[in-house]
Structure 1
Amino acid sequence: MAQRIAFLGLGVMGYPMAGHLVKAGYEVIVYNRTASKAQAWVDQYGGELALTPAEAAKEADFVMACVGNDNDLRSVCLGEQGAFAGMKAGAVFVDHTTASAEVARELYAIAKEQGLGFLDAPVSGGQAGAENGVLTVMVGGDAAIYDTAEPVMQSYARSVKRLGESGAGQLTKMVNQICIGGLVQALSEGLHFAQKAGLDAEAVVEVISKGAAQSWQMENRSKTMLAGEYEHGFAVDWMRKDLGIVLDEARRNGASLPVTAMVDQFYSDVQKQGGSRWDTSSLLTRLK
């Protein structure tokens, strides 16, 4: 029999991720806070929908989640209607939300007390990565639990790796966001400088992308940045949420992140320009 999987949260990431599970042959039941979204998913992919996380989790071997933030995650896990209340002994909860390491450890401990597995497994790759099934998944939690869940996550991933104990996945995602923020700001300044210097910025990118300056952001965002197109990709609001988590953790662990703190404020400027839903590459708009 096919393993039964519940998927909680059908946003721009979760919707296609859950679809890949169906394509991989799993029996999938979905839950979304807005039930009409769950119904649209069932109409497209088949499977079943549930009206509560607990109902979705009942009899599931794995419960995957991709929601908004720490409080959203707690709400789908805990309480009478939460997933933990419906999960059978030995089932595994895999959290793909970008959240704090603190909430990951909190829910891991609660799950363990109830005889459940819990992995924090945030993803990178954006909406396109989710749709194409090529996400990078960064995982924290018990090695034995990871080994059971890794084949399921491969359904929508190009790379899945366990980085350590509970919380390590979220901490690794923080490193990811630190690096992206600095790269996008540097790329924005480089493109701005090229234009001010009277250079053909697209030609400049074509040349320097073959050398040490090359990055995913340069390859995938430079053309839209030069065209002033930002109605796509990873929203500024989401990046500020993520950077807030990063800076909170840095205050706890003593890490010095001056560039990250500065870029977070630059994104605040973009929000004030009305760019809350623009792609993170919209940092360039501050320099125009």
Structure 2
Amino acid sequence: MASVAFVGLGVMGYPMAGHLARAGHEVTVYNRTGEKAAQWVAEHGGKACATPAEAAMEQDFVMICVGNDQDLLEVVSGSEGILAGARSGTVIVDHTTASAGVARQLAQLAAERGVGFLDAPVSGGQAGAEHGQLTVMVGGEEAVFDLARPVISCYAKMVRLMGAVGSGQLTKMVNQICIAGLVQGLSEALHFAQRAGLDGEAAMSVISKGAAQSWQLENRHKTMLAGEYDFGFAVDWMRKDLAIVLDESRRNGAQLPVTALVDQFYAEVQQMGGGRWDTSSLIARLESGK
């Protein structure tokens, strides 16, 4: 068993930290809103700290799951950040979806203090976090990954080292490119089926047994048909992720015309008041006549 700090107790981090506690690890938590950390401790035990630096003291591992690059820089390299408290030999595992550039920057700062760093964004959404079924794509040194893998596995069904630092974030970008295209395609298919007078659910039950099958189809078509978008990964967060993808594509020269178009479709959903709707709400803009 390891001593582990978890920084960031949002919809993903809260249950992920809970899996660590249930596995028998000694868990310390930090959250920007202290009441959330106190609630977690009341449910799972362990202790809460007032700063990331305090939470990181004497820990074997520090796991992070915060909002964006700026949040990540603050909790790792700020004056009261993780690196201000972590001892040499600690391993930082960052589950934030962020840019590959910030991962490399923080890995360098960590190395200067003798601290390991892995960028390890996740896929699987809130349900995956709650059920310990996340997919974790990791960038970093193999020796550091080997140390962290048993801990990460407490909340993951798939963990794989993808290459050097930054490779985890790049793989997550690939994931978001796929999801953007899949959800738009599914939205158009359902919209077409209904306009054509078909039973949308019956159509999905048939094509899901063939080449059109996907996680999005299996898990989202019923709620999309019902116009229910009050769960899952929010449009605002998807646009944040797609901005990272498109920025990286400008650097590496990748052509992403469909991804750029779907990003604009999500902007229209935001204008409809759907910033906190699930990403499957792309169908709403079609139904609205846009």
Partner Cα separation in structure 2 for residue 53 and residue 114 of structure 1: 16
Aligned-residue offset at 1:171: 0.1
1:152 aligned partner:
151
**Unpaired segments ≥5 residues, structure 2:** none
Counterpart mapping for 1:106-121 below 5 A: 106-121=105-120
Structure 1: 4+ residue segments shifted above 2 A? none
How far apart, in 1, do the equivalents of 2:59 and 2:16 lie? Answer: 17
1:30, CA displacement in angstroms? Answer: 0.1
Kindly indicate whether residue 32 of structure 2 is the aligned counterpart of residue 33 of structure 1.
yes
Give the superposition deviation at 1:3.
1.3
Q: Which residue does the alignment assign to 1:173?
A: 172
Post-superposition offset of 1:29: 0.2
| 2: CA distance, partners of 1:285 / 1:3 | 46
SS of the counterpart of 1:28?
A: strand
Aligned to 2:45: 46
| Alignment-mate amino acid for residue 192 of structure 2 | F
Q: Deviations over 1:181-200 (max 9, x none)?
A: 00000000000010011001
Separation (CA, whole Å) in 2 of partners of 1:142 and 1:52:
28
Aligned equivalents of 1:79, 1:25: Cα separation in 2: 30
Q: TM-score, normalised by structure 1?
A: 0.99
Q: What do the CA deviations read for 1:180-225 (whole angstroms, capped 9, x no partner)?
A: 0000000000000100110011000000000000000000000000
| Secondary structure, counterpart of 1:277 in structure 2 | coil
SS at match of 2:136: strand
CA RMSD of aligned residues (A): 0.5
Identity across matched positions, percent: 69
**Offset at residue 85 of structure 1 (A):** 1.0
Counterparts of 1:204-215 in structure 2, within 5 Å, are 204-215=203-214
Distance in 2 between the 1:38 and 1:280 partners?
28
| In structure 2, distance between residues paired with 1:44 and 1:27 | 14
AA partner of residue 254 (structure 1)? G
Count, aligned residues = 287
- Structure 1 residue 123 corresponds to structure 2 residue 122: yes
CA positional deviation for 1:113? 1.1
Aligned-partner residue type, residue 220 of structure 1: N
After superposition, the C-alpha distances for 1:117-142 in whole angstroms (9 at most, x for unaligned) are 00000000000000000000000000
Aligned to 1:12: 11
Q: Please list the CA deviations of residues 143-191 of structure 1 after superposition, one character each: whole Å capped at 9, or x if unmatched.
A: 0000000000000000000000000000000000000000000000000
Please name the residue that 1:217 is paired with.
216
Unmatched tracts of structure 1, length 5 or more: none
Match of 2:229 in 1: 230
In the alignment, does 2:135 pair up with 1:136?
Answer: yes
Partner of 1:105: 104
CA distance in structure 2 between the aligned counterparts of 1:166 and 1:26, rounded to whole angstroms: 26
Match of 1:200 in 2: 199
1:219-261 CA distances to partner (integer Å, 9 max, x unpaired)?
Answer: 0000000000000010000000000000000000000000000
2:262 aligns to what? Answer: 263
| Residue 80 of structure 1: how far off its partner (Å) | 2.6
Q: Deviations along 1:20-52, whole A, 9 cap, x unmatched?
A: 000111000000000000000001111100000
